[in-house]
A and B are shown apart, each in its own frame.
Chain A
Amino acid sequence: MRAAIVGLAVMAAVLAAPAPALAAPLVDSGTLVEFPNRYDGKVITFVGEAIGDVMERSDGAWINVNDDAYSRQGQERRLAGYNSGQSVLVADKKSAKAVTRLGDYNNRGDLVRVTGVFHKACPDHGGDMMIHSDTVRVVRSGFILRHPISARKTSLAIIWLVISGVVLTLWKWRTVSVKR
């Protein structure tokens, strides 16, 4: 359900975008890595989950944006392979401040949308594959991820607590008897 809502939010964000942005095709990270020459130096649109940190530097703010299956997941956690995404340098640091929730163990990060120039190996940034964007827009706010402890794991912990207790007692008893 949440995935459907996120999908609608992405669609709405694309439709509500200004005209130049609409001209920029929405490209996923897999395509950018596999076909870098096709998009090198071109304006593209990229949507994904902001993860980790917003790292402010003199020329903008770096945000790593994942557009993998996880970025669209809700509280449920389904394994869907490795993460994938692209790094974005946002020139307008003020707009980067709008990104407040970043993806990590406790959080699903804000879903952001950027339109900018893709570089397969940016000469100004040490040959990084990246997107130069003026601004970043939050499409959907992130949320806290819950990690409930399952009853199965609790039972497992109790069982192993008992086993290790017995083994340790036996070991202690054996060590003492060997010393005698």
Chain B
Amino acid sequence: MISKPKLYDWQIIGLYTGKIIVGIAMLMAVPFVTALVFREWGASIDFLIGILVALSIGFGFQILCETKHEMTWMHGLVIAAFSWLVAMLVGAVPYYLSGQFGSFLDAAFDLMSGYTTTGLFLLQDLDHTSNALNMWRFFVTYAGGQGIIVLALTFLIRGTSGAFMMYVGEGKEEKLLPNVIQTARAIWLVSLTYLALGTLLIGSANMLEGMLFTRAWLHGIWVTMSAWSTGGFAPQSYNIGYYHSLIVEVLTMIFFVIGSFNFALHWSVWTGDRREIYRNIEIVSFTITLTLIFSLGTYALMKVDALSGSLPFFRKAFYQIVSGHTTTGFMTIYSRQFVRQWGVLAMMATTIAMAIGASAASTAGGFKGMRMGIIAKSFAADIRRLMLPESSVIVKKIHHVHEKVLRDEQVRAAMTIVLAFIFIHLISGILGSLYGYPFVEALFDGVSAGSNTGLSAGVVAPSMPVVMKAWYIIVMWMGRLEFMAVFALAGFIIRVVRGR
């Protein structure tokens, strides 16, 4: 028999969601100050309202849900899923007030896209957007990349035994340090160091390439936030193509590739184990799949004569495919060029790259290199088993920070998540087709949303049907949280409806 949730279940979920929403209010202080510094008074009012709404809801939840009950595994997962939804609605307030969205749904779409580091957007007239609003777009992406719960664990939630459950619910499973709060702080230490370095390099590059001082450095920090978080938002509608700069493209590529690595790998390298870079299963998996997909993409582009010369291939084909594979979504071409110039085969190669994605416990999305590695190892072991005598014992091993024996449960878990991803991608493709989009284009944008990438073939647009916008919000959310927390929330809702 399914039991209805008790009052304290609601209180625990409400209490921690409230704390996370207060964290969102604190984040909004940054664009608010930006608006004041740049004398963008209209934008400053938008963010002031946003902060007040977030504070009211956040503290309101905490007043109504005061409890001393301990959090359980289920609570942690439900909080992770639910707080992301509430954070989306609250964070969308200044977006909507800016007047640059067709509806509140569009604003919520962009917020979820930012939090999940997807990079698809419905914001209109991006090229006349305030610095404050842009700051919010990139700040949301940067915070979402590390995880808004990681952020709350770092600054707002102390010493709770259930913290690890919320952390896992946000799609990260690995503890870099024995304590999850210390792990959250370590993640921020790594991220802030790269942000400082990236801003310095990309800001300097922008100045060298002819941009004015203030814009060069603002773009420097924003593009670094987006690159490191494998986000895909850019301050101009031309995305990275705006800069027409090889150096900016190379720098962004370095940062989004590094950003797509597992935080555990970063921590190993930081603490002195540099050999991990070459041995880690996710890096090996990423290198193999990138090589195969880029070869396929190159063949496809040569076949349709879309590009000529090695530099155009590097700056267009390689950049787009690496951007897709790391689930970044930065582009140096127009969306429609995928359809009009790249053709179906190159689009499919990019779609596969996006679907596979990058490393687990990173800022990236997709199936993840870890799962691809696990499935490939298991597949190879099964083939070996067929060739060897029945009595032989095959031990499957993977290297991720340490040498680990691969168990069947891990293979099954990896397969389940990959199948869940394939399922939502197919629904996205079919749904798009039902609305009249060509299947390849609908699948391309659908996979982009579900894998939190951000490349687009032009399906995502303010004119997109409402149902598709809502579905894309759901797949971005499910893809980022890797299903488990969403399933836990669904289970909780079923208990509410059907429980006794």
Contacts and interface: CB of A to CB of B under 8 A. Distances in A.
Contact of B307 (A35, A121, A167): A121
Contact of A57 (B62, B209, B249, B340): B209
A103 B246 CA distance: 24
B127 A66 contact: yes
Contacts of B313: 127
A104 B48 CA distance: 22
How many chain A residues sit at the interface, stated as a range, is 35 or more
Contact of A126 (B100, B102, B311): B311
B334 A54 contact: no
B210 A82 contact: no
A167 B55 contact: yes
Interface string B123-167: 011111111000000000000000000000000000000000000
A157 B124 contact: no
A160 B63 contact: no
B62 A171 contact: yes
Interface in B269-314: 306-309, 311-314
Interface in B395-414: none
A57 B246 CA distance: 12
A35 B49 CA distance: 45
Given A83-B127, A121-B306, A36 B42 contact: no
B56 interface: yes
B434 interface: no
Contacts of A126: 244, 246, 249, 311-312, 314-316, 332
Interface string B422-457: 000000000000000000000000000000000000
Interface stretch (A16-24, A110-118, A131-139, A143-151): A143-151
Interface string B195-218: 000000000000001111001000
B42 A147 contact: yes
Contact of B336 (A34, A54, A85): A34
A163 B337 contact: no
B238 A64 contact: yes
B127 A52 contact: yes
Given A129-B333, A149-B45, A161 B52 contact: yes
Interface string B84-106: 00000000000001011110000
B41 A127 contact: no
A105 B308 contact: no
Interface string A41-60: 00000000001111111000
Contacts of B97: 153
A55 B340 CA distance: 28
22 contacts: A33-B334, A34-B336, A34-B340, A52-B215, A53-B211, A57-B209, A79-B462, A85-B237, A87-B241, A87-B242, A87-B244, A105-B128, A126-B249, A126-B316, A127-B311, A127-B312, A127-B313, A129-B337, A163-B56, A164-B55, A167-B56, A178-B66
Given A52-B236, A82-B461, 18 more contacts: A53-B215, A55-B210, A84-B237, A87-B241, A87-B242, A105-B40, A105-B131, A123-B308, A123-B311, A126-B244, A127-B316, A129-B337, A147-B43, A163-B52, A164-B56, A168-B55, A171-B59, A174-B66
